[in-house]
Structures are given as C-alpha cells and as structure tokens.
Structure 1
Amino acid sequence: MSGCPFWENKYQFNFKKLSLEDEEGDKSQEGLNKASKGGLIYGDYLQLDKILNAQELQSEKKGNKIHDEHLFIVTHQAYELWFKQILWELDSVRVIFQNGHVRDERNMLKVVTRMNRITMILKLLVEQFSVLETMTALDFFDFRDYLSPASGFQSLQFRLLENKIGVPQSLRVPYNRRHYRDNFKGKENELLLKSEQEPTLLQLVEAWLERTPGLEPEGFNFWGKFEVNVLKGLEEEFAMVQAKQDLEEKEDQLAELQKQKEVLISLFDEKRHEHLLSKGERRLSYKAMKGALMIYFYREEPRFQVPFQLLTSLMDIDVLMTKWRCKFSLLCYDRHNTLTHRTPPPKKMFRGTLILTHENTIL
C-alpha cells in the first residue's frame, strides 16, 4: 500500500496471511460432519436421484438429440410439482371447511394462509412461461414429432385442480371434441370421477357465505338496508346529472348511469339471479352472494377482515388460473400455427376456468 501516503500514515495494519496450519487450528471450523456419521442427507431426503434422472429426451432415444427438449421437459415437470403442492394445500382447506372448523378463527386464518400460498404459486407458474418462451416455435418444431400424441391438455393434476376448485362441466371446452376424461384410463380416470363427486371449494365457500351473520331479515337485515341505500344513491346520482347544463354531457352520463342502475337493480331480483345462475353467468347462490357483499362492504370490521382476505384470495386465484390457461393455450396455438398460417385463436379457447370473478362475487 506504499502508493497511498494516507493509508501508510493513518492505517498501519499488520496483515498476516493464514497458513494451512493456522486454518487447521482455527476453532471456528470445528464441528461435527454429520454426513460422515450416516443418517439422512440432503440428496436422499429430496430423492434427487429420481428427480434429476427423470429427464429422458425422446429425441435422444431416437438418435437425434435436440438441446431444447431438455428445457421443455424440466419446465413441465416443474409445473407438475407445483400442481402437486397446490392440490396439497387445496385438499387441506377443503377438509377444514367440510369438518366445520372454519367457525374457529384460528382455522380461518390457516385457510387464508394456505389460499394465499396457492396464489403465490400460481403467480410463479404464470411467470414461468417466460422461461419456456425463450424457446422459439421453430426450436419446438425440431422435436415436436417425437412427443406425439402427448399433450399438456392430458395433465391429470391440472384436471383434478379444476374439479376440486369447482369448474363445472358446462364450462369445459372439449379437447379434440371428446370428454376430458376420455384422455385418462384406469386409476387416473377413477381419481377424476371421484373428484367430480366430492364437494368443491366453490360449494364449500358458498355454504359458508350463506351463514354470514347479519343477513337475517329479523336481525341486522343487511340486505334490506343495502337495497335502501342503493336506491337512494341512484336517485341522488340521477338528480346531479339532471342538473347539468351541457345537454350532450348530460345525455352521455344518463345513459351510463342507466346501465349501472340496471345492474344494481338486478341484484335485488332473485328470479333474475336464478336465471343467470342457470346460464352459468353467476356462480353463487342468491344468499351466498348477499353474504359476499356484506363481507365486502363491512371488510374493515374485525369479524369480517379475515373472511374478506379469503374472498380476495379466491378472486386472485380465479384471475391467475385464467391467465395461466390463456398463456398455455396461446403458446400451444402459436406453436401449432407458426409454420402453417396465422389466424386469431378462437374465443372459446379461454373459457372454462371461471370460479369467482369480481363481478360474480361483488355484483
């Protein structure tokens, strides 16, 4: 450090390089090498010998090893592992609801924690497409023929996830014009059939919402008070718009306000709600919708804070599953059409995931 007089004058440290002998005498390195004593070790615990040797390239088996097939396999295996974790969390939440344990606030917090975990996993899965998209459609075509007839639409775990959350058969898009279960045989088909017969998360949440305290007409009567406030608010809005001087602006705002009025008034028409329910345009029973709205409007009250978090997580999951399905379908569609023709994907491709949208929950 002789080139710096400031260093030489102010900081005269005695630097000493440790020799190998010094390191051997360093007591901070003393300890027990647990791996040398036997017992469970990292690789055995995670069974990495199975996981890391589960990437069999079909192109390599056919004598034409394609580099990007490895990425394709690893990405999809990662998806399946995360699906497994989502199902693990979802099944535990359904058990809590089925056993009636949601009445205990501690269990309710546990439900919200696990649902939020599912949300975070789904966010990760949507983002994971960016890794797969580093492989171009032409790169995929190099090994696509080796994969036939396998398809991501044959994912057992994703179909189980859809069933357990509450995707109805009426919203499913047939794959190759066949029932989705036709792609599965034996035990897998039995698992799917069983999942169709079990109470779904949507059904369990619906029953829970129907028990929301404060809906009783002879009690707090939230729905009656809500209707009065909505009608009063609409009258005030119309009066404010009618008072405007600009005729063109007035007409535009009145037209928009009329649309809002029709939507809001429909909330109090139970027969209309049942009609929309039969068409699949709403997913919750009339009473459950009332409960969801009460939780939403009274979300700052201590007793409704955790239930509101649950509803929020359900809406987030719905949006994320729709995003995942959309990105997956677009990716498949893009790969299929790159070398043939460019046509927009059919709208029905993105149907089939809706569980609890913001409109269905809040309106």
Structure 2
Amino acid sequence: MDDAAGTGASGPEPNGADTTSTRPEREATYYRDYLGLDEILGAIRPVSRMADGKPAHDEHLFIVTHQAFELWFAQMLHELDAVLADLDRDPVPDTAMGQVVHRLERMVVIVPTLLSQFTVLETMTPLDFLDFRDELVPASGFQSAQFRLLENRLGLTASKRLKIQGAVYTSRLDARDAATVSEAEEGRSLRAVVDDWLARTPFVRLDGFDLWAAYGDAVRTMLDRDRRLIASNPSVDEVVRDQQLASFEQTEAAFATLLDRDRWDDLRAQGKRAFSHEAIRAALLIQLYRDQPALHLPFRLLVALVDLDTGMTAFRQAHARMVRRAIGARVGTGGTSGHAYLEAATSKHTVFGDLADLATFHLPRRELPALPEHVRQEMGFRYDAGGGGVGGGGAGASTS
C-alpha cells in the first residue's frame, strides 16, 4: 500500500541513460488525495437529531454500510462493462476470453463481501433503527440506480420486474436516475450478448455426425430405464408411485422441449424461457463435454453466470431478511410493502435461470454420445513441434 504514494521522481534507465529531464514532472501522490478521502468521509452526513441535539449513533453505521454497497456496485458495473465490450464482438478474440471469465469470476467473489456487510448492519437493533428511520422517508435502497443498472445490464427485463403499487420501478427514481436505468433497458445486456456468443458455437454442428440425434437416443434409453425402475419399485406404495410417475412425466416433457425447437420457441414466446434454442443447446454441449480442452473456459464462463445470478438472489434474500428484522411487517421507507416485496423479488428477478436448469438435461459421462475423433482433435490442445506453439481448438475458438 505504501508503494502507491510514490514521489513521481524519475531515476536513470536500466541501460544507464538518464531520461529525467525529458519526463514531465508531477506532484507527489498523497494517500488521502489519491483516494479522495476528504470527499468520501465528508459524505457521511447524518440527518437525525436526538433530544441532546446529536445524531442517532447508529445512523453513521447505516450510511457507511450503504455507501460501501454503492462502491462495490460501481466496481461490479466496471467489470461488467469490460465483459460486455469484449464479449459483444463477432468473433470474440481468443485472447479476450480469459479476461472475460476472470472479470465475471471477480464479480462472483464480490458478492460475499456484500453479504458480509449485512452481518455488520444487523448489529443495529430495531430500536436503534427507529431512532432515525422516520428521517429517511421517502429515501430507500430501492432508489439505488446503480443496483437497477446492474440488473438491467445483466439482462433483467422490465416484463419480469415486480411493480410497486401498480407502478413501474422507475417511478421511485428521480428524472436523472430514471433516464439512466431506462437507457440500460434498451442497450445490449449480458444475457443477450451471451446468447449470441453461444449460438455461434461451431461444435454444435458436426460434419458427418448428428450429435443431437445421438443425444436424443441416449435420453430415450435413460428415460425408459428410469420409468421401469419407478414402476417396479417394491419399496413404495401406489400413492407414492403415482406421485413419482407424475414428476417423471414432467422430466420427460422438459427433455421433449429441449429436443424440439418449436416447443422451446413457444415457451420463449410466453416468457417462460429466455435463451434461444441454439444458445441453450450450445450451453448444454459445453457442460456435457467440458473435459475437452477447448471448452474449459466456456464452461467456467457458464458457471460464473449461474453463480453470479445465484449471488444476486442471495443478496436480495439477505436484504429481505434484514428489512424484516429491522421493521417487521411495516411499509418500507420507499413506499413498497417492505419485506414482502423484497422476498417476492428474490424468486422473480433472475436472469440466467435457463442455464441453471441445464442440470436437468445432464447424462452420466458413460452414456454420453462419443465424439468423432476429428472433433475431439479440434477441441484439444496440440503441440506443433515445427511451429513451437500450441495449436488446436483453443478456448476462444469454441464460441467465436
């Protein structure tokens, strides 16, 4: 950390040439100034006043915690903007894929830090909160434009959002913030960019080999076996067997939808699925054959997307829990139904549910259709002794 506060002086170059005179001088960087601590710490401005004229003690904690949330949201948006810039290219450069995955995984790691801040905030008791709560109305975390911007850029659509007393979510924002988040609704989201990227996966269409016909045959063999096991299980009674068969029929219907483009497109038109049929089958291919070297990075990307979506849900759940602990069943300061609204949003405000559901369509490795040798070679890493480098599939090539 001390190294960040350098003097800016230039010494001789390693080759002995002194370039001090040719480099522009700058003021020495000082820690407080570099971090803008005067502005940051000066932004802790309590609005409450107790009987003794002093602010409520825990309002300081409340402000600091929410400011920290906003700083981490800013970092997540910074990472997401870079991911979108790299992934929204056709083709995506091979050299960009590592950075895309790295930045998504960084966003995933940030989420536990956000959750830990709720733990600190929950040291404030409900009575402590009541000391200053009324002074906050109508301000609310619901007005966090950065969090709404993050949701929109990830791919949460307006049609999936819960309304507030019949009004759209932007109705609780001021004109500037409403314009910012509305503009993001019209822009390219991570979900849309990933959909296009997946749809270009070359290994979905294999020369001389119909992967999906072979996969369909393997699925039907598995389902026939599972149905027989349920029907002949001597350890369950007729009621339980009927329940298991009913559940099994839902699984069969899910597989049928995956294998039939028209059925999938119907669900997508109804808003029950988000990803295109081409993209979801490519994602499944990546998951099923993730041991192939060319699919390592694409698989990590898919895992990061699901983990990020799960983390956002965990954030909403933690927020709902904290609100219930602080105000019970009261109406939130922003006019929502408080805990009830936040709890409902946890299950509805998701983006990558289609990817999370792909586990439904997994088969044991021993039952997967074997890939043709030439495809396996294209997905592998091959050392070219003549060229002295690594050839073959390459992680970026798999979906560019």
Residues 213, 34 of structure 1: alpha-carbon distance in 2 compared, 3 angstrom cutoff: closer
Secondary structure at the aligned position of 1:355 is classed as coil
Contact 2:6/2:29 (<8 A) preserved: no
Q: State the alpha-carbon separation in 2 of the partners of residues 326 and 69 from structure 1.
A: 23
Amino acid in the other structure paired with 1:161: L
Task: Name the counterpart of 2:275.
Answer: 284
Task: Name the counterpart of 2:141.
Answer: 152
Q: State the alpha-carbon separation in 2 of the partners of residues 306 and 251 from structure 1.
A: 42
Task: Name the counterpart of 2:13.
Answer: none
Secondary structure at the aligned position of 2:340 is classed as coil
Residues 187, 263 of structure 1: alpha-carbon distance in 2 compared, 3 angstrom cutoff: same
Contact 2:324/2:339 (<8 A) preserved: no
Q: State the alpha-carbon separation in 2 of the partners of residues 212 and 362 from structure 1.
A: 19
Query: Is 2:117 the counterpart of 1:128?
Result: yes
Q: State the alpha-carbon separation in 1 of the partners of residues 232 and 319 from structure 2.
A: 51
Task: Name the counterpart of 1:67.
Answer: 57
- Larger-Rg structure: 1
C-alpha deviation, 1:119, in angstroms: 0.4
- Taking the TM superposition and a 5 Å limit, the aligned residue runs for 1:1-363 are 39-60=28-49, 63-100=53-90, 102=92, 104-216=93-205, 220-241=209-230, 244-246=233-235, 248=237, 251=241, 254=245, 256-337=247-328, 345=340, 348-357=344-353, 358-363=355-360
Contact 2:118/2:318 (<8 A) preserved: yes
Residues 344, 133 of structure 1: alpha-carbon distance in 2 compared, 3 angstrom cutoff: closer
Task: Name the counterpart of 2:335.
Answer: none
C-alpha deviation, 1:216, in angstroms: 2.1
Unaligned runs of 5+ in 2: 10-26, 332-337, 361-400
Contact 1:97/1:204 (<8 A) preserved: yes
CA offset digits 1:12-47 (Å, max 9, x no partner): xxxxxxxxxxxxxxxxxxxxx967996111111111
User: What TM-score results when the alignment is normalised by the length of structure 2?
Assistant: 0.74
Contact 1:153/1:175 (<8 A) preserved: no
C-alpha deviation, 1:123, in angstroms: 1.8
Contact 1:284/1:360 (<8 A) preserved: no
Contact 1:214/1:221 (<8 A) preserved: no
Contact 1:217/1:224 (<8 A) preserved: no
Task: Name the counterpart of 2:17.
Answer: none
- Taking only the aligned residue pairs, the percentage that are identical comes to 36
Secondary structure at the aligned position of 1:214 is classed as helix
CA offset digits 1:80-106 (Å, max 9, x no partner): 00000000000000001223353x332
C-alpha deviation, 1:251, in angstroms: 3.1
Q: State the alpha-carbon separation in 2 of the partners of residues 339 and 291 from structure 1.
A: 46
Amino acid in the other structure paired with 2:41: L
Q: State the alpha-carbon separation in 1 of the partners of residues 36 and 235 from structure 2.
A: 73
Greater Cα shift, 229-238 or 248-257: 248-257
Contact 2:104/2:301 (<8 A) preserved: yes
Contact 2:46/2:59 (<8 A) preserved: yes
Secondary structure at the aligned position of 1:167 is classed as coil
Residues 157, 339 of structure 1: alpha-carbon distance in 2 compared, 3 angstrom cutoff: closer
Q: State the alpha-carbon separation in 2 of the partners of residues 349 and 86 from structure 1.
A: 20
> How many matched pairs?
329
Residues 217, 48 of structure 1: alpha-carbon distance in 2 compared, 3 angstrom cutoff: same
CA RMSD, Structure 1 to Structure 2 (Å): 2.9
C-alpha deviation, 1:280, in angstroms: 2.8
Amino acid in the other structure paired with 1:144: R
- Of Structure 1 and Structure 2, the greater helix share is in 1
